[in-house]
Structures are given as structure tokens and as C-alpha cells.
Chains A and B, each alone.
Chain A
Amino acid sequence: AQTVTQSQPEMSVQEAETVTLSCTYDTSESDYYLFWYKQPPSRQMILVIRQEAYKQQNATENRFSVNFQKAAKSFSLKISDSQLGDAAMYFCAQSGAGSYQLTFGKGTKLSVIP
């Protein structure tokens, strides 16, 4: 069975600063995918970034980047130059290669302080 753990229920960051959200996962599969989703108060689930487990290079999307440590089964999200619009729930998710199911963590609520 796959599990995804987000150990930080809440985080806060000053506007323009950098914050890192933690995520660990457990899977017996050798090939899989990892995702970070953002859920603002509108409730829309927005895909922020994805990582393929077979790629050693960390994924980057503008101000968002990940630190993928495969041996440690760790997948943290770094948000640089935080903006007020980054305030949201952030969910880490995992999927096996060829699978149609996503397994989500419980989320981290990020607040951005002006």
C-alpha cells in the first residue's frame, strides 16, 4: 500500500521570503510519480509541479521547485519569493507508474504574511 505523509499541518511565510513544505511517502514500486497540488479557498485543485521518480534532476516550475530524495523517500516543495496568492492548502500526492490512482497526504495550510 502507498502512503503519503505531510507532517506540517500549518506553515507561514513572510511575503517575498522562501518556504519549504515537507512530504514523505512509502511505496514498494520502483517507478512512480510525485505531485504537489495547491487548493486555494476556491477549492479548485491545481497541479503545481510533478516529478518522475526515475529522473534524478529536481523539477522546477518558476518559483516552485522540489527537493526529491529518492533513498529517503522525501519530496519537499520550495516556494521562493512567496506571494499573497500562494496562500492555500498544499497536498503532496503519489502515483505508481501505469496506475490511475493518486494517493494524497493530509495537506499543509500555508499562510503568507504581508
Chain B
Amino acid sequence: NAGVMQNPRHLVRRRGQEARLRCSPMKGHSHVYWYRQLPEEGLKFMVYLQKENIIDESGMPKERFSAEFPKEGPSILRIQQVVRGDSAAYFCASSLVPDSHYGYTFGSGTRLTVV
């Protein structure tokens, strides 16, 4: 039973390029959460998605960031026109139900470096 899979593990983008981060949830999980970890910081909630729906994007920057979780395939976090401040580790977690009381299983994260 594979855990939450994220790829790529490392991603380097030049300023102005687009970054696409992928997250495959655990088998049977239909709830996906994205968190961002800036240097020297804890993880911060970005967005919560169910299949084909964005439920809560209150933690997403208003511009350049978008997320989707299609009916088929992984969840995608897209960052357009990346800037140096987007450099961070991006983590994905998934669950059977939208309740964090057991804690979540996180993927290993994608480290985005903007040069």
C-alpha cells in the first residue's frame, strides 16, 4: 500500500517559468491537502481539494498559484511566473475523510528552487 507520492522530489525553475508539482494520494483517499514550508518555518496550509472540487483555498496566494484534483490522475499544484520567494518545500497529504484528528500521512515533498 504505497503512501502519498509526490514528484518531482526536486525542481529548479528560473524566474518567470511555471512549476507543476504532482501528488498522488494514498489508495482510496479522495481528500488532498497542500502545505508549504518556507525556510526555517513550519508547514502552512495552502489548499484542500476533493476529486474535481476545491473546498478551501484560503491559504493560497491570490495570484499565480492554482491547484486541481481531477477525476483521474494526481493532484497538481501549479505556480505560474515563479519568483525567488516561491522557493520552498511543498508537501501533500491525503485522507479518507476530511478530519485531521488522526494526523495525516504526508508525502516526501517537492523542494522548489527558483534561480
Interfacial residues of chain B within 1-60, with CB under 8 A of chain A in the complex: 31, 33, 35, 40-45, 48, 56
Question: Given A43-B111, A95-B100, A100-B98, do A106 and B106 touch, yes or no (CB 8 Å)?
Answer: no
Please tell me if the beta carbons of B42 and A105 are within 8 angstroms of each other in the complex: yes
Question: Given A44-B108, A104-B42, A104-B43, do A50 and B99 touch, yes or no (CB 8 Å)?
Answer: no
Please tell me if the beta carbons of B42 and A107 are within 8 angstroms of each other in the complex: yes
Please tell me if the beta carbons of B42 and A50 are within 8 angstroms of each other in the complex: no
Question: Given A45-B91, A91-B42, A107-B42, do A102 and B109 touch, yes or no (CB 8 Å)?
Answer: no
Q: Which of B40, B89, B111 contacts A106 (CB 8 A)?
A: B40
A4's closest neighbor in chain B, by CB? B42
Cβ of B85 < 8 Å from any Cβ of A? no
Interfacial residues of chain B within 56-115, with CB under 8 A of chain A in the complex: 56, 89, 91, 95, 98-106, 108-109, 111
Measured between beta carbons, the chain B residues less than 8 angstroms from A43 are 89, 108-109, 111
Please tell me if the beta carbons of A99 and B42 are within 8 angstroms of each other in the complex: no
Measured between beta carbons, the chain B residues less than 8 angstroms from A33 are 100-101, 103
B42's closest neighbor in chain A, by CB? A104
B33's closest neighbor in chain A, by CB? A100
Q: Which of B95, B101, B111 contacts A97 (CB 8 A)?
A: B101
Residues of B in contact with A (beta carbons under 8 Å apart) = 31, 33, 35, 40-45, 48, 56, 89, 91, 95, 98-106, 108-109, 111
Please tell me if the beta carbons of B43 and A91 are within 8 angstroms of each other in the complex: yes
14 A-B pairs with C-beta separation under 8 A: A4-B42, A43-B89, A43-B108, A44-B106, A44-B109, A45-B109, A47-B104, A93-B103, A100-B98, A101-B45, A101-B48, A101-B100, A102-B35, A106-B40
Q: Which of B33, B45, B108 contacts A42 (CB 8 A)?
A: B108
A98's closest neighbor in chain B, by CB? B99
Cβ distance A25 to chain B, nearest Cβ, rounded Å:
12
Measured between beta carbons, the chain A residues less than 8 angstroms from B101 are 33, 52, 95, 97-98
Per the bound structure, the CA–CA distance linking A106 and B39 in Å amounts to 10
Please tell me if the beta carbons of A50 and B103 are within 8 angstroms of each other in the complex: yes
